[in-house]
Chains A and B, each alone.
Chain A
Amino acid sequence: MNKKTYTLTQLVDSVKSVINRTYSENAYWVTAELVKLNIKGGHYYLELADSVEGFNTAQMKAVVWRTQVLALQTNLGEEFKQLLQPGNRLLFRVSVTFHEIYGLSLTIHDLDPAFTYGEIELKKKQTIERLKQEGLYDLQRQLKLPLIVKRVVLIGSPDTSGYRDFLTEMTTNNIFRNFTIQQIATTVQGDKAVSEICAALKEADTYDADAIVLIRGGGSKMDLNVFNDYQICSLIAGLRLPLITGIGHETDEVVADLVANSRQITPTAVAKFLYVRVGTFRADLQTGLDRILTQALSQMARATEQFTNTNKFLSHYFQNIITEYRTDLQTKLHLIQLYTADTLAEERALLELALNRGGTASVNHLRVLREIELPGTLDRILVNAQNLIDISRLEMTGMRDKIELLNPLKLLKVGYTMCSIDHIDLAHYSGAYIGKELQTLTDQFTIYSTITKIQK
């Protein structure tokens, strides 16, 4: 079988001629993600890719020749290096070339940073949106920054001027220098920046400090893009300690600024913010103290004056009262003396009078006794005695007459007799009569007779 055969060279030459005929005359603006970068002999070898919804849809090698690198570096400056970071989406001006040995590739003639900035902004917005959705965006601002921030954890790159500025400002200012600064060194750009900053943040949050300071001494938009990183920003949002940024740019904020507790423009500004805060607090304290002192002194002065016035008034008032009382007392004393003298005189007079009266009365009484009562009494005694004697005498006469009268012997003399039985008067006798002896007394003799018969 007679087959038509070609050498590889013939085929590749044919492909090359087709490609060159179709593409080599034109250049195209192409967007792609930089996946990998190798620099060799001043030439930049890139691996570009494109994806839709996470799936690779195209991949191709590209090169920036050394001369072009130099031209781009001149045009873009530092940006060039930052733009050519793996992960960035870039807008390249490319032409398609085919090499017999190296195959199909793109030659990069130019790149437009504006596209990447737009991409950055877009990504930034997406990051902010995500942080908000996850409830992380406002967390830091809810933390209370202490009135005095004295213990600080500093995250930054020690080799940068911003870092040095911060330390200098903190230790040489005229307001407050007694800070405790725990430093954590980290790179702030390049491949490792994100992971190192994340590690630094995690470490910083474990210290017993008042706040974390994250600084970077300025840089291009691309330089600062690391601070838009979702991982870093979500970590900042979740910190226990409040974080202050001093990332060093004036126009555009990075997401780290937005989620931080406080955002200052430069590292120097952060230092100033911290010592001014202490100074303000101290000044407030001083002002308060001054006001208290002033108030206290004026109150003291008022009280002293009041006291002096009152004292004067009281002295005067009491002097008056004392004088009044003394006068009153003297008057009363005088009156008492007068009254006492009067009373004494009166009493004396009364006594004398009483004495006189008593004497006179006694004398009179004695005279009455002597002159009237005694003689009268004697007379009365005399009269009574005489009466008594007279009565007694009469009584005695009566007695004698009675005895005279009662004397039975007299009756016997005139012829009466007295009879008795057993010496009992007949009038009193109550015994038997017959046979008894009856004694009959006469004036001359006694007759004894025996009773033989009685007749009633």
Chain B
Amino acid sequence: MEEKLSYEEALSQLQTIVKKLENKEVKIDELAGTVARANELVEYCQTKLQQTEIEIQKIVKKG
């Protein structure tokens, strides 16, 4: 997973994938790869959210 990918970019990629899936634009050959990529992106975003939440909590507790 690329380090520099932002949450918004990850989300945008996810939405593109969902759209393609809905429109059945994904080739069969690429299907497995695409789903795997979607899972990755979801995980990445989940992690980002988790980390952000923890950081905020930390900041708040400091003040």
Contact = CB atoms under 8 A, between A and B. Distances in A.
A385 B29 CA distance: 40
Interface string B8-36: 00010011011001101001110110010
Contacts of A101: none
A425 B29 CA distance: 12
- Main secondary structure on chain A at its contact with chain B? helix
Contacts, number: 62
A389 B47 CA distance: 11
A441 B24 CA distance: 15
Interface stretch (A49-57, A68-76, A361-369, A404-412): A404-412
A203 to B, nearest CB: 153
A395 B49 CA distance: 12
Size band of the interface chain A makes with B = 20 to 34
A279 B43 CA distance: 156
Contacts of A423: 27-29
A386 B28 contact: no
A418 interface: yes
Contact of B18 (A378, A392, A406, A420): A406
Nearest to B52: A389
A428 interface: yes
Nearest to A393: B49
Nearest to B46: A396
B42 A396 contact: yes
B12 to A, nearest CB: 12
A350 interface: no
Contact of A409 (B27, B35, B60): B35
A385 B52 contact: yes
Nearest to B15: A399
Contacts of A408: 28, 31
Contacts of A386: 53, 56
A60 interface: no
B53 A399 contact: no
B46 A418 contact: no
A380 to B, nearest CB: 12
Query: Which residue of B21, B28, B29, B31 has the most chain A CB atoms within 10 A of its CB atom?
Result: B28
A414 to B, nearest CB: 16
A403 interface: yes
A302 to B, nearest CB: 107
A399 B31 contact: no
Given A378-B60, A420-B28, A403 B38 contact: yes
Interface residues of B, number: 26
B7 to A, nearest CB: 8
Nearest to A374: B63
B22 A406 contact: yes
Query: Which residue of A381, A402, A406 has the most chain B CB atoms within 10 A of its CB atom?
Result: A406
A386 B60 CA distance: 12
Contacts of A425: 24
Interface in A400-456: 400, 402-403, 406-409, 418, 420, 423, 425, 427-428, 441
A403 B18 contact: yes
Given A406-B21, A406-B22, A409-B35, A396 B49 contact: yes
Contact of A382 (B27, B42, B60): B60
A396 B17 CA distance: 13
B56 A396 contact: no
Contact of B24 (A389, A402, A427): A427
Given A385-B56, A403-B42, A409 B32 contact: yes
Contacts of B18: 399, 402-403, 406
B28 A418 contact: yes
B45 A396 contact: yes
B39 interface: yes
Contacts of A396: 42, 45-46, 49
Nearest to A420: B28
Contacts of B45: 392, 396
Contacts of A427: 24
B49 A403 contact: no
6 contacts: A395-B11, A399-B15, A407-B21, A418-B28, A423-B29, A427-B24
